[in-house]
Amino acid sequence: MAKLIHSMIRVLDEDRSVAFYRDCFGLRVAERLDFENFTLIYLSNDETGTELELTVNKGRTQPYDLGDGYGHVAFSVDDVDALHARLTEAGHAPRKLVDFAPGGEVIARFFFIQDPDGYEIEVLQRGGRYL
């Protein structure tokens, strides 16, 4: 059996990215590994065993081309409305809240937000399959 342990994204500015994920999702630096040409920063919180790995390639000044293959990372939260309001107030510009009801019954309540490097993040109301 396999266990998902982390997902990695490349970021330009370590401080900016660490602050975003801390402020928006309560992720903290679990470990930071500094090498000659790059730095790896592992972020986590007490709610999950899965980590987000931020890779900073030293000397890079241009934003990464996210291409058309990247989808999104998703977080589930206890109160999606409260988090949406807090992130809006903090100036993080989350997109509108959506009640997803393809068959007439709401199966998900969510919004999207972009991190400082343009990565899409889906934030879902905890419940059903989104625990």
Catalytic amino acids?
122
∠ CA 11-13-18, nearest 5°, is: 85
Strands 98-100, 38-44: pairing is: unpaired
d(CA 74, CA 87) in angstroms, rounded, equals: 16
d(CA 95, CA 58) in angstroms, rounded, equals: 31
CA distances from 38 to 30, 34, 49, 57, 116 (A): 17, 7, 24, 4, 19
Strands 73-77, 108-114: pairing is: unpaired
| Residue type at 33 in one-letter notation | L
